[in-house]
Structure 1
Amino acid sequence: MAPGEGWRRGHDITAETTTHGRIFTRAELALDPVDLAELLLGAVIESTGPDGTVAVRLVEVEAYRGLDDPASHCYRGRTPRNAVMWGPAGHLYVYFVYGMHFCANVVGTEDGQPGAVLLRAGEIVSGADLARARKPAARGSGEFAKGPAILTSVLGIDREQNGVDLTDPASPVRLLTGERVPADDVRTGPRVGVAMAMETPWRFWIDGSPAVSTYRRGGRKRPR
């Protein structure tokens, strides 16, 4: 089925259709983060700034729940930093890490129940020249958005995009359905770089994609 034909979970097309599919509706994204992570593989995140637009097909993501997930930013409750993660679904949660990098997450679940999916890696599907200018040291097409900090960098996402509505066609960052990934191509495993709940297999990736990041066990001293 071609992009934009409403293949995901049988929903009708209710939002603007583009070359990378249609924009997700909020109801489609209001899922448990584990289910949302699987849904997002093959989806396209598209970001527009003053210098142009870059679109990335998602090939690796990680699910984080809330109060029942020791590795989650929300594990100890609501704070000004993690407020976006509490919903409603369909918003972008951006946080700053290690004093130098931004990471982006798609918020899921029902409003008031925290949970989100970290966008770990992707493949550039449009705006390659701009992506190359933002990441000139990349040695191949698979490295332009390999890793969560690099992905946000090539998309031009920083703290200013925290909380934007990914389901709004007028938003500077939009989430599109892309093309469905066959179940046989999906792999799961432990999350990367967390110090708690290390063995929880909530990292999902597309087998064979050169953009999937290298697995790194543990290493963080705080919940993400």
Structure 2
Amino acid sequence: MPAVPAPAPLPRSFYDRPTLEVARDLLGCHLIVDDGQQRLIGRITETEAYLGFMDTACHSSHGRTQRTEVMFGPPGHAYVYLIYGIYDMLNLVTEAVDDPCAVLVRAIEPVQGEDTMIERRNGKRGRDMLNGPGKLTRAMGITKAAFNHCDVCSGEGIWIEPGTPVTDDDIISGPRIGIDYAEPEHRDAPWRLRIATPQLRRQLERKAAQQNAK
């Protein structure tokens, strides 16, 4: 049986940068979860940046709480929280200590362990299997209980590795989702970043045509 390659997680310096840069550079990288028995890998295709105190869509803008404590710590840690009591959301802490910013991982595509992902998603396949932050955590087995506060630079349990680089021409930016409570300048900021697949381009073109026809 071939030896499993040693983890090569992205270094802490990758996360210790402006959050929008990290959100952009995570596109194309590989999200890895390894429980010691199997290794699941997904290529990151969508992210959202949350810019700390100045961003009213960001949890930490309301101050330091037990929930957001990890965001105030060193970069390169996982901030996993639960919404609606059902969906775990994976965020990666960025920037310096006490500058509480993070990037939400919104979507991935399978690279390794797809059968396990399909099973955990109750038979879902294709685009709908992993095209949402709650969907991908369910498929990858990422929970708040298991991974909140985890050091993603350690190469243990959960981490990010370099994947396939993405050019600027292949990235589409737009407003983030589900933040109606935020101030307009933050609600409308183009801080949601997606790899522009042909399918996504067609979808956006159809949407634009429908809006223009009104």
TM over 0.5, shorter chain: yes
| 2:126 matches 1:141 | yes
Residue ranges of structure 1 left out of the alignment (5+ in a row): 1-15, 216-224
Query: Residue 192 of structure 2 corresponds to which residue in structure 1?
Result: 203
Letter of the aligned partner of 1:81 in structure 2? R
d(CA) in 2 for partners of 1:51 and 1:152?
18
The structural deviation recorded for 1:136 is: 2.4
Deviations 1:20-51 (A, max 9, x none): xx310001111121111001000111012266
Shift of 1:17: 6.2
Q: 1:54 is paired with a residue of what secondary structure?
A: strand
Distance 2:168 2:135 in 1: 27
1:1-224 equivalence runs, <5 A: 22-49=8-35, 52-138=38-124, 140-159=125-144, 160-169=146-155, 171-195=156-180, 196=182, 197-208=186-197
Describe the shift of the 1:211–1:149 C-alpha distance in structure 2 as closer, same or farther (beyond 3 A): farther
Runs of 4+, deviation exceeding 4 Å: 209-212
Instruction: Note closer, same or farther for the CA distance 1:205–1:77 as it changes in structure 2 (3 Å cut).
Output: same
1:92 deviates by 0.6
- CA distance in 1: counterparts of 2:174 and 2:200, whole angstroms: 16
Question: What letter corresponds to residue 200 of structure 1 in structure 2?
Answer: A
For the structure 1 residues 176 and 52, does the alpha-carbon distance in structure 2 shift closer, same or farther, using more than 3 Å as the test? Answer: same
Gap runs ≥5 in structure 2: 205-214
**Partner Cα distance (2:17, 2:89) in 1:** 21
| Cα pair distance change 1:32/1:126, threshold 3 Å | same
Task: Kindly state the Cα deviation for residue 137 of structure 1 after the two structures are TM-superposed.
Answer: 3.5
Q: Report the Cα distance in structure 1 between the residues aligned to 2:188 and 2:22, rounded to whole angstroms.
A: 19
Over 3 Å counting, the alpha-carbon distance change for 1:149 and 1:210 in structure 2 is farther
CA distance in 1, matches of 2:190, 2:79: 22
Asked if structure 2 preserves the Cα contact closer than 8 Å seen for 1:17 and 1:23, the reply is no
Equivalenced residue count is 194
* AA of the residue aligned to 2:191: W
Shift of 1:209: 6.6
TM-score normalized with structure 1 length? 0.81
* Separation of aligned partners in 2, 1:210 and 1:128: 21
CA drift of 1:141 comes to 2.4
**Identity fraction in percent:** 32
RMSD of aligned alpha carbons = 2.1
8 A contact 1:59–1:209 mirrored in 2: no
Q: How many Å apart are 1:162 and its aligned residue?
A: 0.2
What's the CA shift string for 1:81-106, capped at 9, x where partnerless? Answer: 01111231111100010111110001
Q: Which has the higher helix share?
A: 2
